[in-house]
Structure 1
Amino acid sequence: MSDREISENSPAEQSEVFSLAVDGMGGDGAPDVVVAGLAIAADRHPGMRVLLTGDEARLRPLLAKYPKAEAICTIWHTDAAIPMDMKPTAALRVRRSSMRLGMDAVASGRARGVVSAGNSGAMLALAKIVVKTMPGISRPAMAAISPTIKGDVVMLDLGANVACDWRNLVEFAVMGEAFAKAVLGLPAPSIGLLNIGSEELKGDEKLRVASEALRESPLAAQFHGFIEGHDITAGTTDVVVTDGFTGNVALKTGEGALKMASSLLRQVFNRGIISKIGYLLVRPGLERMKEWLDPRRYNGAVFVGLNGVVVKSHGGTDAEGFAAAVDVAMDMVTHGFNDGIRERLTHMGALLSRQQASLEREPETTAS
């Protein structure tokens, strides 16, 4: 058998650095979906090495059924797992959960990234405590890819930070640009700030200050300015930046619109014999559209701004969807995602400090 079990008490004894740590027990279909997804991912990333955390008694028989997954995996055994409904504060107290061991592996340098389909709140809490926020980033954000008319778009934040200030938005722009480069392969992705209008005077102060900062930053040539809700699906920019409250509402609204459109199409093509004949004529096009909009293609939200790659798969996904989340993590690991953020922050540090100092002086100037 090609996989080795890491000692429960001393994982540091192993000298190998893994491409990814994968939470084998996270998600509605775990561990079956996780192992099946890794088998698919193994074909796409033949050099990948995975540290699979979870119950060996359940994982080893599954790996035996999927030789391709078995060939790339090493088991780190633990009996503990975090339920999908556990509160983040309680999850932090489960010291040897499969999710926690994955985070520990990244924090210690044993793995370059971690993927889990488990509890979102617990995952964010553990990522902040264990992997920790990258120097120069005040708050990590959740980013994901969505379809547009022109291709794909990166959106952030999608719910990690309900309230944000101007500096958070600028940092999100930096992280979003690095994400689009690593995952979408864009050399100079365009960036838009989501607002209630595209005019310069629209929106609140944090948006206007963030816009000013980006126009004076090394990202100025890529900064499109303010965009509106319809610009997301129009593909006006490659990166959409907003606070977590607005981003989450926009994401869920888009998902609901897609479900409604799908339901309406089914109703239209089932209304009679003529409609059914029409469906047969347009079926090839509809199949291509279905494949293009398949949510499994876009599975894999990323907590960006951390000292390592942390990817959240949808809890209810199937093997193909989980493999897509692994693809995202591998793209980020392979293309030096965090290195790109550090480089940008180095060039923007002085600008952000000047902008903050200017804002702090404004009340004194007004009072005088």
Structure 2
Amino acid sequence: MANPNLFFLFLLLVVPLSLLLLLTLILRPRPVKIPIKNRHVFITGGSSGIGLALATQAALQGAKVSILARNLNKLEEAKQSIKLSTGIDVRVFAADVRDFDALKKAIDEAGEIDVLVCNQGVFVPGELETQELEEVKFMLDVNLVGCFHLIKAALPAMKNRRDRRPCSIALMSSQAGQVGIYGYTAYSASKFGLRGLAEALQQEVIGENIHISLIFPPDTETPGFAEENKRRPQLTNIIAASSGTMKANDVAKKALQGIKSGSFIVSCNFEGFLLSVATAGLSPQRSVMMAFIEVVAAGILRIAGLFFQWNWYESIAKWHAKGK
């Protein structure tokens, strides 16, 4: 008679190994490394916050850095800040990502780009009912349409580049681009849209050795976040109370690491890691171990997600019961 303990041990070994082998065979795109030393990294929203931290980190790692934002004075201040931190000069370009012609002119002047980081973003919190449509349009135009403008402007030269090594287009989303939160209606829509853009674009450009990264930072300590907190609805603060914040420099390090490894999904903290696993869906995955975790943890994290939803809706019900 067979030993049942040996049978269960056999299952514990064979099933995971078989799954790992299957994932190794089917995962696409394949793993890739994207070098940045001596290559041109172009970062929008580079005059402050995460963009400025990204530019500093890239310069420290030997990249040739260009930053773009709307305000030339702030860009010059950022340039001096990077110079003081790294001893390296960066190039600055003033343009609004909503203005395709001005953006195209700046990108053409900057020259061939190896790593394009679409980091610009605006957030005006508030319930949709009370929010002005101009504010909604502003967020969609900057956060989502602005990325289309950037990619359309930069992609031809990226595809025809002389340096045929892997290059990258990185999109700065948000954890609010993974799960909708009260008071984030328009912002979440603009950031959720980046996922559809990223998934489809990766299929379009993979043949040119261009790799897409979608970065999901949590609340980050930036000047923009400080302004956001002044307007956030009280119920948003209640629901989001469990989420922590990160420093811009820490987000930048995680983001740059993800870009260099060609990761499609780049999470920045443990909460973001869990969200990335829970919302993996049909997104591409290069890492066998991450794919394994996504497959094994999917059911458990769905239960956890339903618990969070229960908690949020309980908070909303109590809020309404108190007459707001």
TM-score by length of 2: 0.29
TM-score by length of 1: 0.27
